[in-house]
Amino acid sequence: MENNQDNQENTNPTTEVETEAPETGSETAKDVLVGGAGVARRSFISSALEFGGEILHVVIISLAIIVPIRYFLIQPFYVKGASMEPNFYDHEYLIIDEISYRLDNPQRGDIVVFRYPNDPSQFFIKRVIGLPSERVVISDGRVRIFDQAHPDGYVLDESEYLAAGLRTSGDKDVALKDDEFFLMGDNRAASMDSRIFGPVKREFIVGRVWFRGWPPEKMGFFSQENVKTSVNNTP
C-alpha cells in the first residue's frame, strides 16, 4: 500500500507538470504572434509615411516648377468671340508668352492678350496697330500711322492678316501717350477694340500669342515674324 501510495504521489506531480507545460508554451506562442503583428503594423505605417513623404516631396518640387511657369512665363487662354477671325476662331486654345514682354515691348502686328481697361478681370485678344507716341488716324476705311520717321503719315499695309477687301470702319484720330497702344481685332466689323474703349496702357498687356493648341489641325507655334504685318509704306 505504501508503495502504491508513493507511486501515486510521484505520478500526480508529473501529470500536473505536463498539464502546465502546454499552457506555458501556448502563451509564449501567443506572445510571439502578437509581437509579430505589432512589428508588421509598425513596418506598414513606416512604409506608408515614407511613401507619403516622397509624394509630398514630388508635389512640392512640381509646384515649384509649374507655378512660376503658369503665372510668370506662359498662360493658357480660350478665344471667345469672332473679333479675330479669320485668323483665330471661337474656342481655340492658345498659350500666351508672358516672359517676352518683360524683356521687350510689344511690336506692331503682335497678337496680344490684355486686360480690358474698363474691367481688368476680363481678357481680350487683339492685334497691335499703333505704338506709343504715335498718332493713329482711321478714315476712308484705312489706317494711317504718323510717327517721327513719317511725320506726314503712311497707310498701314494690313493685307497679310486682314481678309481681302476688308475696310476699317469708323473715323478716329488718336494721339498715343508714351505708355499707350492702339489695338484692333482682325475682324474689324465685329470687334470691340481701341476704336471704342480707347488706347490700352502697357501695364494691361499680359503677353503675346505663342502657341495654338486647339484645334489639332491648326496646332503650332507663332514666331514674332509670322504674326506681324508687312509694314510697307504706302503714301
26, 30, 121, 126: which one is catalytic?
126
Indicate the pLDDT class of residue 129, thresholds 50, 70 and 90.
very high
Secondary structure E strands in the chain: 74-78, 93-97, 111-116, 119-130, 135-139, 142-146, 154-155, 172-175, 180-184, 200-201, 205-214, 220-221
- Residue 235 maps to a domain: no
pLDDT tens string 58-70: 656 544 444 444 4
Residue 13: predicted pLDDT:
42
Summary mean pLDDT of the chain? 76
- Residue 145 maps to a domain: yes
Domain that holds residue 173: 79-227
83, 159, 172, 218: which one is catalytic?
83
In this structure, the answer to whether residues 69 and 85 fall within a common structural domain is no
- Residue 9 maps to a domain: yes
From the list 51, 229, 59, 212, the residue with the least C-alpha distance to 145 is: 229
In this structure, the answer to whether residues 96 and 159 fall within a common structural domain is yes
In this structure, the answer to whether residues 14 and 116 fall within a common structural domain is no
Write the Ramachandran bin of 91: left for phi over 0, alpha for psi from -120 to 50, otherwise beta. Answer: left
Query: Cα–Cα distances in Å, from 221 out to 25, 54, 97, 115?
Result: 77, 36, 11, 23
Check: CB of residue 130 under 8 Å from CB of residue 176.
Answer: yes
- Which of 57, 75, 93 is the last residue before a domain boundary? 75
- Terminal-to-terminal C-alpha distance of the chain: 146
- For the segment 9-37, the average pLDDT, to the nearest whole number, is 46
The question of whether 201 is a catalytic residue gets the answer: no
In this structure, the answer to whether residues 111 and 191 fall within a common structural domain is yes
Residue 165: predicted pLDDT:
84
Indicate the pLDDT class of residue 107, thresholds 50, 70 and 90.
very high
From the list 136, 231, 119, the residue with the least C-alpha distance to 181 is: 136
Residue 4: predicted pLDDT:
47
The question of whether 223 is a catalytic residue gets the answer: no
In this structure, the answer to whether residues 18 and 38 fall within a common structural domain is yes
Residue 17 pLDDT > 50, yes or no? Answer: no
pLDDT tens string 172-207: 999 999 999 999 999 998 899 999 999 999 999 998
- Which of 75, 99, 126 is the last residue before a domain boundary? 75
User: Domains in the chain: how many in total?
Assistant: 2
Secondary structure E strands in 45-110: 74-78, 93-97
What's the CA gap between 216 and 209, in Å, rounded?
17
Residue 143 CB coordination number (10 Å): 22
